[in-house]
Amino acid sequence: MSTAHSNGTAGRVLSIQSHVVHGYVGNKAATFPLQCLGYDVDPINAVHFSNHSGYPTMHGTRLTPPEFAEIVRGLAVNGIVGEYSHLLTGYVGQAQTLSAIPALLHDLRAVNPALLYLLDPVMGDNGKLYVPADVLPVYRDLLCPLADVMTPNGFEAGLLAGTSITSKATLQHALQALHALGPSLVIITSTPLSDFAAAAAAGAAAPPTTTTAAADSETNYLVASHPPSQTRFAIPFTKRPGFFTGTGDLFAALVLAFLDARRVRAAAAAADGETRPPSPTPSPTTTAPTSGPLTAHIRAVCVAALTCMSHVLDETAATTAAKQQAHHSSVVSHPAPQGDRTPAFMRSHELAIVQSRRWFVKDVAAAAAARDSASTARTFTVIDF
């Protein structure tokens, strides 16, 4: 019997992704926000680097498959596998280590069949892979079939679906292919979609009714699809000027924290005819399920995650400006080409995770409303399609 939620937290997350000593990507970007949101987090660090790969150089080690197996063995013999309510995987970077995750997930679900698995298939961005090519089939063939939720960016979604996402038609084809791989809820974190420009400009949407995103080349879209609840929508947002890393890692953690795992898994079970045991009774600190259709809940989760991300980027821009002023330098004031990303530039652009702690709350919209004036409040248009 799982003991998840029995210690007065929202749950316990086993998070398998990268670690850096300095900066905020991977587990460094995910752990503190999840803890602020009420979750215990047990990180397994797939790499242990001095800093992320955007710097001119980095040093450190990768977790080998035998080392991963030893860690998992320790969790098993001490009965810790029964503690987990969620599994989160991000950047691992090695096909052999990734290939060991299905067996671990089998063990976790043998103890807690209600465990939710959120897969962030970190492979690349902007048309460029930053993992070996043999990682792709592991994600596609071994991990996707086991995932409840998947949060790829547009490039990663296209790789997994076998098609580039350039239009509404190719998006629909990609979503169909991604769901066929396994996940019931797919959230594509960012992709350009010219087809939606007119709808975004007109504000065609379910509430919220306004957006800060303009219908132009600076607009990207979050896309969410959940066939069991007949949910499919896009949310436009304006691309931020500047250079940021770790945003996808943070976004995946926020979705996990805000999402009602019980409702998502129950809907998937009903859709595929499975009978799954109910999740453990939530503790008093666990957020109650959102009232109304599951569609409304998924919308609220995506809007909350985008709202929180917006404030984190605001905090990051503020700390970047402060560092610029302190050093009397313009090196951090604009996006830099790859060759100009000096260590000083990269250090100044790390996500302001600790400074953003006020935003890592369940009701981020209320926190934003309390802080923002009506003219600066973040609101987002939801476009059903």
Q: How far is CA 254 from CA 37, 132, 152, 155, 213, in A?
A: 9, 27, 14, 21, 21
Rounded distance between C-alpha atoms, residue 144 and residue 183, angstroms: 6
Domain for residue 20, yes or no? yes
Domain for residue 283, yes or no? no
Domain for residue 206, yes or no? no
Helix, strand, coil distribution of the chain in percent, nearest 5? 45, 15, 40
Q: Please confirm, yes or no, whether 42 is among the known catalytic residues.
A: no
Predicted local confidence at residue 111, as pLDDT: 96
3-state secondary structure at position 58:
coil
Q: What is the CATH number of the domain that holds 365?
A: 3.40.1190.20
Nearest partner of 152 among 116, 115, 177, judged by Cα: 177
Predicted local confidence at residue 379, as pLDDT: 82
Number of domains the chain is built from: 1
Predicted local confidence at residue 276, as pLDDT: 44
Kindly write down the DSSP assignment for every residue of 3-50, as one continuous string: -TTTTSSSEEEEEEEEEESSS-STHHHHHHHHHHTTEEEEEEEEEEES
Domain for residue 4, yes or no? no
Predicted local confidence at residue 365, as pLDDT: 66
Kindly write down the DSSP assignment for every residue of 181-227, as one continuous string: HS-SEEEEEEE--GGGHHHHHHT-SBSS---S--SSTTEEEEEEEEG
3-state secondary structure at position 102:
helix
| Number of Cβ atoms within 10 Å of the Cβ of 339 | 7
What is residue 89's DSSP assignment? E
Decide: 323 and 363 in contact? Cβ < 8 Å: no
Domain for residue 336, yes or no? no
Structure tokens at 86: 């969620």
Domain for residue 209, yes or no? no
64-88 in b/e burial notation, b at 16+ Cβ within 10 A? eeeebeeebeebeeeebbbbbbbbb
Q: Per residue of the chain (385 residues), what is the pLDDT tens digit? A: 334 466 778 999 999 999 999 999 999 999 999 999 999 999 999 999 999 999 999 999 999 999 999 999 999 999 999 999 999 999 999 999 999 999 999 999 999 999 999 999 999 998 999 999 999 999 999 999 999 999 999 999 999 999 999 899 999 999 999 999 999 999 999 999 877 765 555 554 333 323 333 344 689 999 999 999 999 999 999 988 878 999 999 999 999 999 999 999 899 888 877 544 443 333 333 333 333 489 999 999 999 999 999 999 999 999 888 877 776 655 444 454 555 678 988 898 899 999 999 999 988 767 766 666 544 556 899 999 9
- Catalytic-labelled residue, pool 40, 120, 249, 260: 249
**Domain range enclosing 71:** 11-201+217-269+293-325+346-371+380-384
Predicted local confidence at residue 209, as pLDDT: 28
Domain for residue 280, yes or no? no
Ramachandran quadrant class, 289 (left: phi over 0; alpha: psi -120 to 50; beta: rest): beta
Predicted local confidence at residue 96, as pLDDT: 97
What is residue 288's DSSP assignment? P
Side chain identity at residue 224, one-letter code: A
Predicted structure pTM score:
0.86
- At a CB cut-off of 8 Å and minimum separation 6, what does 32 contact? 353, 354, 357, 360
Q: Identify the H or E element spanning 180.
A: helix 168-181
Domain for residue 285, yes or no? no
Nearest partner of 260 among 307, 226, 294, 283, judged by Cα: 294
252-282 in b/e burial notation, b at 16+ Cβ within 10 A? bbbbbbbbbbbbbbbbbbeeeeeeeeebbeb
